[in-house]
Amino acid sequence: MVLMQISEPGAEAEQTAARRYAVGIDLGTTNSLVAHFDGEVVQVLMDEDGRASLPSVVYYGDGKSEVGGKAEAFAVAEPHNTVASAKRMLGRARAEFNDDPYVALTQHGLAFETDAGQKTPVEVAAQLLIELRSRAQAHSDEHMVGAVITVPAYFDDAQRQATRQAAELAGVKVLRLLNEPTAAAVAYGLDEAAEEASLLAVYDLGGGTFDISILRMSRGLFEVLATGGDSALGGDDFDKAIVDLWLERLHLSDPTPGQRRRLLECARQAKEMLSTDEQATIDCSALAMSSSELTLSRSELEQVITPFVGRTLSACRDTLKDAGVESLDRVVLVGGSTRTPLVRHAVAECFGCDPLCTLDPDQVVAMGAAKQADVLVGNRAADEALLLDVIPLSLGLETYGGLVERIIDRNSTIPVALAQEFTTARDGQTGLVVHVVQGERERVEDCRSLAQFELTGIPPMVAGAARIEVTFRVDADGILEVAAVEQETGASSEVVVKPAFGLDESQITDMLKASYEHASEDMLARKLGEARLEGESLVVGLHAAIAKDGDLLNPDQRSELEGGMLTLQSALTDTDPEQIRALTEALGRASEAFAARRMNRSIQIALQGVLITDLGAEDA
Amino acid sequence: MSAPARDYFALFQLEPVFKIDDAALKRAYYALLDQFHPDRFAGKPQVEQRLAAQFCADVNSGFRTLSDEVYRAEYLLSRQQVDLQAAEREGVGSEFLMTQISLRERLASSESDQAEEREQLLQEINDHYTASLEQFDVAASEGHWRDAARCWQEMCYLSKLLEVAQTESR
């Protein structure tokens, strides 16, 4: 398309000459990964010891903390200090976790009680992201511009917000929160192939969770039609079942916790061997049991795991029904447990097509995120397929009588903004509580409450006379902002939906300050890099804009902008990020009207373009 | 707060009438998204990113409004400054009300195993809906906005009923 040239061709070349460094992060329940796409291949980034996956575990001891494998080592001796699977609690309410002995409801919301103090799930996730960020940074001299972080498709607004907060805390700029199944499809390049509408299932069987998602793709548009699964089902259940079989065989009814742990390790080993072999033999002489060898055959394994696989299949069938879909074009396998041959066969049989499994199922989500990150920092040509995401659940607000008025329907393409007018129910009513909910049901109590805020200053009128416009805005990450304005007086109030049990702004600021103190130099370098990048892209962009649309400026406006560009350009070599930031902001503000006029022009041109293409099509 | 509302018909290069060319709407919609989606402004100055996101939100809202018959009817009315709240207070005719109540009752009492009967009921509701829709189109194109507002309300009732009937029979 010729119309896409908003900036000067020369300037585009200048920008793409230096590839921007961005990564994809799979922040998993059990393991996390970071990957990078260099334009040719996706590489999963390893740590110093050559390991790709980082166990999602953080240890908070007295005076020290560890992340990943080093943290896992404390799991037995200090379980209360070793936090695993924090992702399950991100953005969730206390009631859902009242059986966990190490979790408490504090004034900061849900938190883990550790010797180093109370730690919220957001903080734990941030620790993992810090580790992954430094790993990513160790792989490149380029400043890391940002990351695409994946989240489960069923994550609601509060859980997405909590993920964002963790990233903010870790100093990772979020380019986009991407649904995990969508990321898996992107890794296989299915977004590029999908010219015709096609239906896709993503079967994700991890260590402790099972997720099934049904997606529809057409013209680069990914719609999540339905999701299902079991949050307490995974490869760990396979291991436990194998151990139970061995214990029965060894006539060992009451193993010590140490023996059980070792046996679980052996079980995992045997299970992995059986992905390729027919028979596994594990040396267990160190366990001091009646036998020094443990054996397991493929058919024995299949026998003990069949019930678990059966449960995943019935969840698949339910989800297909939810999606209103009978047959599928493709199935993508995600999660280490899908290496088990029985799982593959069962999935193939259930969906009636051979599953895609050529990419490593543990890494496929991070790989897709890395590819999308590359697109989102502008490294790829603009005619790439566009990933359009939709919101998974309807958004609305509570009206009289506990009913829900839907404002944005589920499956709306984002970003989106919609407004609706409301009025007062009582004579002389001067305030209004706006209660924002998410869900498909008609009654408020059947939906999930997201936020509540108050609009005050409505002039007293008879019931039904006030006109209050409530606007819902969902950005490209699926994050919601709600504003209410009384039309007569302009009285207004708004809220960005925050996790019900999360952190408030001041807590985040405090934590960020604390982390600066530990790594102030690192922070400064990062801030400087970010400030320079933003300043540079503004100068480059403006140059191109003036060359193309300079006629939209009068001589005064033009010289004002050019003056600002010179000042900013020379400040870019400074080492003070605040100075650069201030100048960038000033120039940004000064160029706002110009940018708006240019946007209008390109919209006009685009609209004419549409018309011309239409006429062309009719002629043909 | 928000910029003056864009005319959605103009945005998608359509005549401001009820019966529109769905394919043309879709073509214009994807062409605009393809060009102005925030992802296309990655690496551009923040001012441009923000403007693109705002425009894209308008495009998505516009598409949602025009691609749905009930929303499109409502939008046509509001473009004519028809007071929708007043129209709602005025209500639909008592005859329609009776039809609607009887359909709702039959739906509630029909058993899910009587597939044939349900299918017929679904068809009946659909016929009523189509009739209201056609009436809306005529009233709107002749500029009889009060009649059009009444037809729009009928469409609202019937489309909700249709939705209930469809989810139940699945």
Helix (H) or strand (E) holding A592: helix A592-619
**Whole domain around residue A256: which residue ranges?**
235-304
Please tell me the predicted confidence (pLDDT) of residue A62: 82
Kindly report the CATH number that applies to the domain delimited by B8-67.
Answer: 1.10.287.110
> What is d(CA A181, CA B153) in angstroms, rounded to the nearest whole number?
40
Structural domain includes residue A390: no
Answer yes or no: do B48 and A541 touch at CB < 8 A: yes
Choose the final residue of a domain: A341, A376, A411: A376
Considering A12, A66, A191, A204, which one is annotated as catalytic? Answer: A204
Could you tell me if B98 lies within 8 Å of chain A, comparing CB atoms? no
Asked whether the ipTM of the predicted complex exceeds the cut of 0.95, the reply is: no
Whether residues A293 and A440 share a domain: the answer is no
Q: Tell me which DSSP letter residue A285 carries.
A: G
Q: CA separation (Å) from A113 to A102, A574, B32? A: 6, 44, 51
Question: For B116-146, what is each residue's pLDDT tens digit?
Answer: 888 888 899 999 999 999 999 999 999 999 9
Asked if omega into A415 is within 30° of 0 (cis), the reply is yes
Q: Taking all residues of chain A, what is their mean pLDDT, rounded to a whole number?
A: 83
Shortest CA distance to A130 belongs to which of A260, A27, A245? A27
Using pLDDT thresholds of 50, 70 and 90, give the confidence band for residue A501: very low
Neighbours of A85 (CB within 10 A): 17
Using pLDDT thresholds of 50, 70 and 90, give the confidence band for residue A2: very low
Contacts of B39 in chain A (CB under 8 A): 176, 375-376, 386-387, 476
A527 classed as catalytic: no
> What is d(CA B131, CA B125) in angstroms, rounded to the nearest whole number?
10
Q: Nearest CB to A610: which of B13, B36, B48?
A: B13
Please tell me the predicted confidence (pLDDT) of residue A14: 41
> What is d(CA B65, CA B76) in angstroms, rounded to the nearest whole number?
10
Contacts of A409 in chain B (CB under 8 A): 64
Smallest CA–CA distance, residue B35 to chain A, in Å, is: 7
Q: Nearest CB to B34: which of A15, A386, A588?
A: A386
Residue A304, pLDDT > 90, answer: yes
SS3 A602: helix
**A32's tokens:** 């996390």
- Secondary structure string (H, E, C) spanning A456-521: CCCCCCCCCCCCEEEEEEECCCCCEEEEEEECCCCCEEEEECCCCCCCCHHHHHHHHHHHHHHCHH
Residue B77, pLDDT > 90, answer: yes
Identify whether the C-beta of residue B28 lies closer than 8 Å to the C-beta of residue B13.
Answer: yes
Whether residues A488 and A411 share a domain: the answer is yes
CATH number of the domain at A97, please: 3.30.420.40
Which pairing describes strands A54-55 and A198-205: parallel, antiparallel, or unpaired? unpaired
Contacts of A4 in chain B (CB under 8 A): 35, 40
Structural domain includes residue A6: no
Q: Nearest CB to A386: which of B37, B51, B61?
A: B37
Question: Which range has the worst mean pLDDT, A371-385, A555-569, A603-617?
Answer: A603-617
Shortest CA distance to A123 belongs to which of A63, A65, A176? A65
Answer yes or no: do B40 and A386 touch at CB < 8 A: yes
Residue of B nearest to A606 (CA): B32
Helix (H) or strand (E) holding A316: helix A298-323
Please tell me the predicted confidence (pLDDT) of residue B4: 43
Identify whether the C-beta of residue A466 lies closer than 8 Å to the C-beta of residue A429.
Answer: yes
Identify whether the C-beta of residue A65 lies closer than 8 Å to the C-beta of residue A38.
Answer: no
Question: For A243-280, what is each residue's pLDDT tens digit?
Answer: 999 999 888 888 888 888 889 999 999 999 999 999 99
Q: CA separation (Å) from A351 to A215, A315, A426? A: 14, 12, 55
Question: For A321-338, what is each residue's pLDDT tens digit?
Answer: 888 888 899 999 999 999
Contacts of B57 in chain A (CB under 8 A): 415-417, 473
Residue B1, pLDDT > 70, answer: no
pTM of the model: 0.76
Please tell me the predicted confidence (pLDDT) of residue B76: 94
Residue A300, pLDDT > 50, answer: yes
Using pLDDT thresholds of 50, 70 and 90, give the confidence band for residue A302: very high
A340 vs B44: which has the higher pLDDT: A340
A475 classed as catalytic: no
Structural domain includes residue A239: yes
Whether residues A537 and A482 share a domain: the answer is no
Please tell me the predicted confidence (pLDDT) of residue B81: 87
A93 vs A407: which has the higher pLDDT: A407
Question: Which range has the worst mean pLDDT, A31-35, A154-158, A231-235, A378-382?
Answer: A378-382
Residue A405, pLDDT > 70, answer: yes
Structural domain includes residue A214: no
Helix axes A157-170, A505-518, angle to 10 degrees: 30
Answer yes or no: do B56 and A415 touch at CB < 8 A: yes
> What is d(CA A316, CA A500) in angstroms, rounded to the nearest whole number?
30
> What is d(CA A599, CA A171) in angstroms, rounded to the nearest whole number?
31
Helix (H) or strand (E) holding A305: helix A298-323
Using pLDDT thresholds of 50, 70 and 90, give the confidence band for residue A4: very low
Could you tell me if B24 lies within 8 Å of chain A, comparing CB atoms? yes
Whether residues A479 and A530 share a domain: the answer is no
**A283's tokens:** 């040396």
Contacts of B8 in chain A (CB under 8 A): none
A87 classed as catalytic: yes
The number of angstroms, rounded, from the C-alpha of A141 to the middle of its chain's C-alpha atoms is 26
Smallest CA–CA distance, residue B149 to chain A, in Å, is: 17
In the predicted model, what is the mean pLDDT of residues A445-450? 81
> What is d(CA A47, CA A68) in angstroms, rounded to the nearest whole number?
11
Helix axes B22-36, A592-619, angle to 10 degrees: 140
A26 classed as catalytic: yes
Structural domain includes residue A118: yes
Structural domain includes residue A578: yes
Question: For B7-55, what is each residue's pLDDT tens digit?
Answer: 999 899 899 999 999 989 988 888 888 888 888 887 677 788 888 888 8
The domain tally of chain A equals 4
Answer yes or no: do A416 and B36 touch at CB < 8 A: no
Identify whether the C-beta of residue A353 lies closer than 8 Å to the C-beta of residue A325.
Answer: no
Please tell me the predicted confidence (pLDDT) of residue A255: 84
Q: Which amino acid is at A326?
A: E
Q: Kindly give, in sequence order, each residue whose CB lies less than 8 Å from that of residue B166, ignoring residues fewer than 6 positions away.
A: B122
A530 vs B2: which has the higher pLDDT: A530
Whether residues A399 and A369 share a domain: the answer is no
Question: For A196-243, what is each residue's pLDDT tens digit?
Answer: 678 999 999 988 889 999 988 876 677 778 888 888 899 999 999 999
Structural domain includes residue A100: yes
Answer yes or no: do B35 and A1 touch at CB < 8 A: yes
Question: For A35-84, what is each residue's pLDDT tens digit?
Answer: 999 988 999 999 989 999 999 999 998 888 899 999 998 988 888 899 98
Considering A12, A87, A230, A398, which one is annotated as catalytic? Answer: A87
Contacts of A614 in chain B (CB under 8 A): 13, 24, 27-28
- CATH homologous superfamily of B84-169 equals HscB, C-terminal domain (1.20.1280.20)
Enumerate the domain spans of chain B.
8-67, 84-169
Identify whether the C-beta of residue B41 lies closer than 8 Å to the C-beta of residue B49.
Answer: yes
Whether residues A484 and A577 share a domain: the answer is no
Q: How many CB pairs under 8 A join A and B?
A: 122
Answer yes or no: do A588 and B47 touch at CB < 8 A: yes
Structural domain includes residue A402: yes
